[in-house]
Structure 1
Amino acid sequence: MAESLLGNRNINQLAFVVKDIEAANIAFTRLLGIKKAEPFLTGDSSVSKVTFRGVPTESQSKLAFLNTPTVQFELIEPDKNPGTMREFLDEVGEGIHHIAFDVDSIQKRLPIMEKNGYPALQTGEFTSSDGRYVYVDTLDDHKTLVELLESAEPRVTAWERPEDDSIQPLLGTNKVEQLAFVVKDLDAASDAYCKLLGVEKPPIIHSGSSDITNVIYKGKPTEGKSKYMFINTPFIQIELIEPGESPST
């Protein structure tokens, strides 16, 4: 098995860019039945030292970290200054902005990513654990950005059970098991993920016939044909989906 480009296969954070962090915080807390996070504002440029596409920027964001038993959720409400989160919100809208890996050394791992065609998009520093980060532009291949995190001290990601026993997850569990991406080319996307993670390529799975799958889309039966691939990592499974021509979500 090849080594991961980042030195490990631990996707430990899913990050969402949002317009209203307070509303998103409440929604995710209610869905997952977890302790509510306290949003905070990132430091100014003298502290965060943010660069976006190689140019210093005054970009600041409100952040909230929601810990679950499997993976951490990060909510990001960016300000109006140039930055990858602002760009994402303006051009794409709310949604998953990046997945994150804790790495041993950005200085060591970033050149490997760049050599493989993934340049640095935004860099910065944070004081909570004497750390730094870099977003690399993996959007075309991985359908999301990848963040490299380096900290002098371990980041706090442990799940804390709510003190109020009446707070329960709406789905009966708060274990987030899977992150799914819809792709145009399943082979290309799976090759990219397997190379990033240093894992063997799993088999492609084809959806069954409609009399078995019984797919309903917007109240109407549909074949819902798709091809799938499931890539397992220590904390969360990556599902890649290449849909067919029949109507489906």
Structure 2
Amino acid sequence: MTDAAFAAIPLIVQKLGPKQIAFVVRDLEAATRQWWDLLRIGPWTAWEYTPEILKDMTYKGAPARFGLKHALAWKDGVQFELVEPTTGPSFFSDQLASSGEGLNHIGIHVMENHAEAVAELEAAGFTRLQSARGFGGDGSGAFVYFTSPKLNGLVLELISPPATRRTPLFVYPEEAK
């Protein structure tokens, strides 16, 4: 990568680096079984976030109401995420309608100063696609998805993990609890 190209990448991305690879799916439960059976990635822990749980939701620059189910699993230091959109407009639903299931975004865990990291990407010309907060059991946690011509079509998520998790929707395989 040239020095000019590297300088165009915001410091938050350079400093923290991607930690998560996410895929959009039509059926979350079936996808967790498939990933476990074929790739032995898991165990998967799944949650559902409805418009009643999520706060300050935006989609393409406007207030929105959306819901989703997602499952997380770790493998070799990488967090894998599967996302099934459930209600309202979202860039997850957009992908399913336009190109189907598949790679959706990479995520960066921002443990401190999430708002500053968001501001840094916006100042660097990244466009906010979708965002929400409050998905943790205590109302903590936030996520913001960005796109940029600098990313060649890839979506980048800045994740502020919640301090506590809600009760899972399911764990697969079950014996992994």
* Structure 1 and Structure 2 fold alike (TM over 0.5): yes
Q: Are 2:71 and 2:83, in contact at CA under 8 Å, matched by a contact in 1?
A: yes
Structure number with bigger Rg: 1
How many residue pairs get aligned? The number is 158
Q: Are 1:45 and 1:59, in contact at CA under 8 Å, matched by a contact in 2?
A: no
Which of 107, 110, 118 is 2:118 aligned to? 110
Q: Are 2:26 and 2:101, in contact at CA under 8 Å, matched by a contact in 1?
A: yes
Q: Are 2:10 and 2:124, in contact at CA under 8 Å, matched by a contact in 1?
A: no
DSSP-derived class of the 1:122 partner: strand
Which residue is 2:136 aligned to?
127
Q: Are 1:18 and 1:24, in contact at CA under 8 Å, matched by a contact in 2?
A: yes
DSSP-derived class of the 1:19 partner: coil
Q: Which one has more relative contact order, counting CA pairs under 8 Å at least 6 apart?
A: 2
1:96 and 2:103 equivalent?
A: yes
Structure richer in helix, relative to its length:
2
Q: Percent identity?
A: 30
Structure 1 segments unaligned to the other structure (5+ residues): 156-161, 165-249
DSSP-derived class of the 1:58 partner: coil
Task: Name the aligned partner's letter for residue 90 of structure 1.
Answer: A
Q: CA deviation at 1:128?
A: 4.2
Instruction: Give me the whole-angstrom Cα distance separating, in 2, the residues matched to 1:58 and 1:74.
Output: 21
Q: CA deviation at 1:76?
A: 0.5
Task: Name the aligned partner's letter for residue 131 of structure 1.
Answer: G
1:9 and 2:16 equivalent?
A: yes
Q: CA deviation at 1:100?
A: 0.4
Structure 2 segments unaligned to the other structure (5+ residues): 1-5, 166-172
1:68 and 2:75 equivalent?
A: yes
Instruction: Give me the whole-angstrom Cα distance separating, in 2, the residues matched to 1:102 and 1:44.
Output: 23
Q: CA deviation at 1:81?
A: 1.2
Q: CA deviation at 1:48?
A: 3.6
Q: Against the structure 1 CA distance between its residues 74 and 48, is the aligned structure 2 distance closer, same or farther, given a 3 Å change threshold?
A: farther
TM-score (norm 1): 0.55
Q: CA deviation at 1:98?
A: 0.6
CA displacement 1:15-55 (0-9 Å, x = unmatched): 10011112211111123324432433113245343210122
Which residue is 1:190 aligned to?
none
